[in-house]
Amino acid sequence: MTKVQIEAIAISIPIDQPTRISTRILGARDYVIVRATNDESPEIGLGYVYAGTNGGRVLAAFVRECLAPLLEELDQVDPVSAWEAMFQESLLLGRRGLAIRAMSAIDIALWDLAAKAAALPLAKMLGGSVKPIPAYASGGYYRPLEGDWDAAVTREIKMNLEQGFSDHKIKVGGLSIQEDSKRVKAAVKAMEGRGRLALDANNAYKSVGEACRAISAFERAAGDVGIWWFEEPLSPEDIQGHALIRKRIDTPVATGELAQTRYEFQRLIEADAADVLQPDVGVVGGVTEYLRTVRTAETFGIAIAPHWHANMHVHLAAASSSCIAIEHFALEKDIYNFEKVIVPSHRLSVENGMAQMSDKPGLGIELDQEALRKYALDGENLWVA
């Protein structure tokens, strides 16, 4: 690539009903979308990241004020050299949190642009194929308007089965261990002996002992089906705690959705803290750092199950051998609501639990301009595609 131009906007998409996980209430989701162009190609590269509930404006400003000017001054820009320049620039800005998420959005957009310029799906550009990728149905959030907790989980698992999914994930940690155990038992019963069930605690438990008591109860509730994995039982910073849990329980431990850069994943690996690592392309540092992270994990034979963003991770999964499944959210559940700003014909299709990758160039994503205008945060200037 040669000179680039980087633009960013922030949007906020409300969730349609009261929803919570173990540690927070979800009212709306902010996203930052980056557009990358250069003087060699008419193509437009798109990247986006999740910015929490109120982080959209500040993250978009970080892209515009701190990183875009840096890249626009360079004579030659490609995704890897841009990543290195941004990482160096971020040294005095924290190199964590907001800085890496902003880098992620730009990096994704640059890879999308490069793949579009090559007229290839990103998966093929990275050496993979457009073969279908295993996906699991993620959900089981706490939603009071859906009635009885057990009945709500039962309905959702049955919906997943009707949509062709065999594998599922539900939340735990938001109720007492006893109440969550009932939800686990209800989910297993609804599965009717098919597939696997993972449990996501979202950092709910305050100690190794509490987390071990919880998973022991959940294992009993699941019976012979067992638990596919136990996700984020503790705060992500508590690497040693995750390692201790892993030593004490039979269920595999999964974590990593909030880890940034390969260096944080290296610490997880060195501590033997996880059986399954869950990098998020919008958190870890974009496509560039996701690929480095996966290569590191593959060296140690550790499985990968990326967090969120199925329409991006499907490409990255195709380019590696260690991904066991990508995470998919049903559109009608309004959890992964970025889908609302993607043109329907460009949304990821899943058939019989397999994500069907598009053969469109790049990420294969086209944004709905009317939807962007609807969800744009006040003061955000929208580009015209």
In whole angstroms, give the CA distance from residue 328 to residue 271.
29
Is 148 found in the same domain as 61? no
Is 264 found in the same domain as 161? yes
In whole angstroms, give the CA distance from residue 226 to residue 197.
8
In whole angstroms, give the CA distance from residue 305 to residue 317.
9
Is 40 found in the same domain as 13? yes
In whole angstroms, give the CA distance from residue 172 to residue 109.
34
Domain-embedded: residue 72: yes
> E strands within the chain?
4-20, 25-38, 45-50, 133-138, 168-171, 197-200, 230-231, 253-255, 276-277, 303-304, 326-328, 349-351, 354-356
Is 197 found in the same domain as 107? no
DSSP β-ladder status, 197-200 and 303-304: unpaired
Is 164 found in the same domain as 151? yes
List the CATH number of the domain containing 10. Answer: 3.30.390.10
Is 352 found in the same domain as 296? yes
Is 370 found in the same domain as 331? no
Is 182 found in the same domain as 77? no
Supply 260's token pair.
């940034």
Domain-embedded: residue 385: no
Domain-embedded: residue 383: no
> In 3D, which of 334, 287, 338 has the Cα closest to residue 315?
287
Any idea of the CA torsion for 266, 259, 332, 58, to the nearest 10 degrees?
A: -150
Domain-embedded: residue 189: yes
Burial of 178 (0-12, 13-18, 19+ CB in 10 A): exposed
Q: What is the domain count for the chain?
A: 2
What tens-digit pLDDT sequence spans the chain (385 residues)? Answer: 578 999 999 999 999 999 999 999 999 999 999 999 998 889 999 999 999 999 999 999 999 999 999 999 998 889 999 999 999 999 998 889 999 999 999 999 999 999 999 999 999 999 999 899 999 999 999 999 999 999 999 999 999 999 999 999 999 999 999 999 999 999 999 999 999 999 999 999 999 999 999 999 999 999 999 999 999 999 999 999 999 999 999 999 999 999 999 999 999 999 999 999 999 999 999 999 999 999 999 999 999 999 999 999 999 999 999 999 999 999 889 999 999 999 999 999 999 999 999 999 999 999 999 999 999 997 766 764 4
In whole angstroms, give the CA distance from residue 39 to residue 77.
11
Is 258 found in the same domain as 162? yes
Burial of 310 (0-12, 13-18, 19+ CB in 10 A): buried
Domain-embedded: residue 384: no
Quote the pLDDT of residue 231: 99
List the CATH number of the domain containing 321. Answer: 3.20.20.120
Domain-embedded: residue 259: yes
Supply 272's token pair.
């033997």
Is 157 found in the same domain as 266? yes
Is 157 found in the same domain as 42? no
Q: Name the residue range of residue 304's domain.
A: 124-356
Domain-embedded: residue 380: no
Supply 289's token pair.
């750092």
Domain-embedded: residue 382: no
Q: What are the Cα distances from residue 16, in Å, to 55, 207, 335? A: 19, 33, 9
Is 322 found in the same domain as 295? yes
pTM summary value: 0.97
